[in-house]
Amino acid sequence: MASLSFPKSTSKRKIKPFWPVVVSLLLLLLLGAAVIPELDLFPESWNIGLREPFNEFKRWVVINRTTHWMFVFFFEPLSNALDFIIRLVENFLLWLPWPVTMVLFFWSAHKISGLRLALLVSGCLFLMGMFGLWEASMQTLALMTISVVIALGLGIPLGIWSARSERVEWMLRPVLDAMQTVPIFVYLIPVVLFFGIARVPSAIATIVYALPPAIRLTSLGIRRVPADALEAADAFGSTDRQKLIKVQIPMAMPSIMAGVNQTIMMALSIVVLAALIGSGGLGDVVLKALRRLQVGVALEAGLAIVVMAILLDRFSVALGQFSVINQASFRGFRLLPDRWRGIGWVDWFENGLDGLYRWIERMTNRLGQLLPSPLKPYQDALLFGAFCLFFLFILLLSGVDSFPEGLNLEISRPVDALVSWMQVNLYEIGNTGLGTGPFRDFLIIRIFLPLADFLTNVVPWPVILLVFGAAAWQTGRRRLTVGVILMLLLIGLTGMWSFAMDTLGQTLVAVIICVLIGIPLGIWASRSNTVDRLIRPILDFLQTIPIFVYLVPVIMLFGSGSVAGLIASVLYAVVPVIRLTNLGIRQVDQTILESAEAFGSTSWQRLLKVEVPLAAPSIMLGINQTIMMALAMVIIAGLVGATGLGLEVVQGFANNNLGRSVEAGLAIVLLAMVIDRITEAWAEKAAQAANL
């Protein structure tokens, strides 16, 4: 029998001389930097001088704000209208007695999702009052409400338009990509220039920042409506408008509501941070407390922000499930977990709740008989409204308006005492050399300062360009390589090279720690359902907390500065790499794993040679998100004294030097775009390599 043979390749595989060229260029640059000073430190003479023109433009704005047509006929009317609406909502919430506000939220949550959500929402509101922050919470809630309503009012129609027009989708995609790449801090700079400092610029920055998820997820939901559903609507003679309203939007509602949820959470993040430009509310309390190193007060306000985030998150998620939850066939126990069914006291308690609900329903029906027939379908809402008006009248007569001080839960003094104790006793535990102080000193002296000095003073700036350019070139995108080099050069031309390298160093340290923690933990969670169940609520909680709040507990242990920013960055940015590593490995095709087992692969071999390579696109996407989130937190840590671009933005605001903030803000945007585009391209390359 003739043996099978395969033809040998007659041509040798060409080896691209990529790395030899890179190494050669690297050596040439290092040698050249020793001789040519301009190749060592980025030349200050190359600074294109953006600072003074922007400061001059700001002075022009201040002088001409009341006379120039651009402000008289556009910016000022827009600002006045938005300010009127915000103050109207804020004054109403502050005028409304706090028990009425709680009753309104309780009833709304109960109608949406039942007793559990109603009690959770009421408890969250009550905690805000107990911390003595009812007024600040209502100010934040008013600004949030207006901003989210406007963002959704713009975002959902744009998403629908984008889903129905390829041209609009093509035009919006790069804009939305850029908006989601820009760190949160940078949104505050342009609005200050045109709208000044107050609630209005905070609202506008919030609207712009929170807009992308509403547009993207609305468009995605409508595009994913099954074609057979649309064909059936066409067969019944539906017009485009009828098809949109009666088929596409209802079927896309889960995706649209996910966009609403993300819009709300993103809006809360920037509304809190907008205290830097005078938004007031809870963010203002945190910011002032951090500046005065009053950690206890900052923690109270931080907890109030977390509570508000939980309230809004659960409320918006429940809205997306409204139609299912309110069907009786899907309703289990009203309060306690359904899995407790069969336990004597649990059944007795739930039966008692059912009896109370039946009694309320009977009373409502009796009172509803007094209503005219056309109003009976709305009897619940009308009777509840009448009850609220009567309750409001009684409370106003009684003089009840603000949250009673007797119910306040003051934790600031114990927390400040605890911070003082930790600063003394945990700074160094005995003579062991262990403690927060030695750890902080180690990070600063051994890591941050050497890394910043290495990137800024030791490594010639063309080497940084070469390394990033080589990383972009390896993705196979020539335009990306040119774009990366030009963007890095522009950072140097703004005069922010050293600050950008400082920020880059801090981000690299945070990302390395996140990856070292996140990928193993994600792999462990993918291989153990128990671990997955244990870490899921922790990750959910970490993703719910607004970015600003992470700094408060860290400062308690490590004080202000870059170390606090690093630890907060790790806590904030480790979530996506854990989640997407877990998700990527769990989504590997089961038949491929069975084939690996059939060939005798061990569990370790299957992980390294099958699961991780196939999950590489998901893991790379997680690393991309982790880098962007770490960069955002490192920049925000400038509020508490962390060095780098964030501190430059903060000091520009504090010293009324808008040009300085603009230069730093532009450098932040460019650095974020460079990192985002390269890591995104590497994720796509990994997907192509895995044939995904």
Q: What is the token pair recorded at 576?
A: 């996506």
Average pLDDT over residues 392-421: 83
pLDDT in tens, 545-593: 877 788 888 887 787 778 888 888 898 899 999 999 998 888 888 888 8
pLDDT digits (tens, 9 = 90+) for 320-376: 776 544 544 445 677 877 778 878 888 888 888 888 888 888 888 888 777 787 777
Tokens of 255: 């995706």
User: Is residue 201's pLDDT more than 80?
Assistant: yes
Provide the total of helices (H) and of strands (E) in the chain, helices listed first.
32, 0
Report DSSP state, residue 599: T
- Which structural domains are found in the chain, ordered by start? 48-325+375-409 (1.10.3720.10), 443-692 (1.10.3720.10)
pLDDT tops 50 at residue 10:
no
The beta-carbon contacts of 122-125 under 8 Å, at least 24 apart in sequence, are 124/307, 124/308, 124/310, 124/311, 125/98, 125/101, 125/311
pLDDT of residue 330: 47
* Contact in structure between 639 and 472 (CB atoms under 8 Å): no
Residue 2 has pLDDT above 50, yes or no: no
With 0-12 / 13-18 / 19 or more C-beta atoms within 10 angstroms meaning exposed / middle / buried, residue 257 is buried
In this predicted structure, the answer to whether residue 118 has a pLDDT above a threshold of 80 is yes
Number of residues that this document lists for the chain: 692
Q: Does the pLDDT value for residue 6 go beyond 70?
A: no
Higher pLDDT, 401 or 638: 638
Judged against a pLDDT cut of 60, whether residue 78 lies above it is answered with: yes
Alpha carbons 305 and 567: distance in angstroms, whole number: 20
Average pLDDT for residues 267-293, to the nearest whole number?
A: 82
The Cα–Cα gap between 195 and 55 comes to 15
Identify the pLDDT of residue 5: 42
pLDDT at residue 468 tops 50: yes
pLDDT for residue 27:
80
Asked which of 17-26, 393-402, 615-624 is least confident by mean pLDDT, the reply is 17-26
What's at 543, amino acid-wise?
A: Q
Decide if 494 contacts 663 (C-beta within 8 A): yes
Average of per-residue pLDDT values in the chain: 84
Query: Which residues, 6 or more positions from 416, have their beta carbon under 8 angstroms from its beta carbon?
Result: 294, 295, 296
Nearest CA-CA partner of 309 in 275, 277, 261: 261
Which pLDDT does position 74 carry in this prediction? 86
What are the pLDDT digits (tens) for 296-336? 888 888 888 888 888 888 888 887 776 544 544 445 677 87
Helix (H, G, I), strand (E, B) or coil at 466: helix
Closest CA to 274 of 305, 235, 253: 305
**Identity of the residue numbered 268:** L
Q: Which two tokens stand for residue 155?
A: 């975002």
| Alpha carbons 446 and 404: distance in angstroms, whole number | 51
For the chain, how far is it from start to end, CA to CA, in angstroms?
40
Burial class (CB in 10 A: 0-12, 13-18, 19+), 314: buried
What gap in Å lies between CA 189 and CA 653, rounded to an integer? 9
**pLDDT score for 323:** 52
The answer to whether 552 touches 299, Cβ cutoff 8 Å, is yes
Burial annotation 494-530 (CB, 10 A radius, 16+ → b, else e): bbbbbbbbbbbbbbbbbbebbbeebbebbbebbeeee
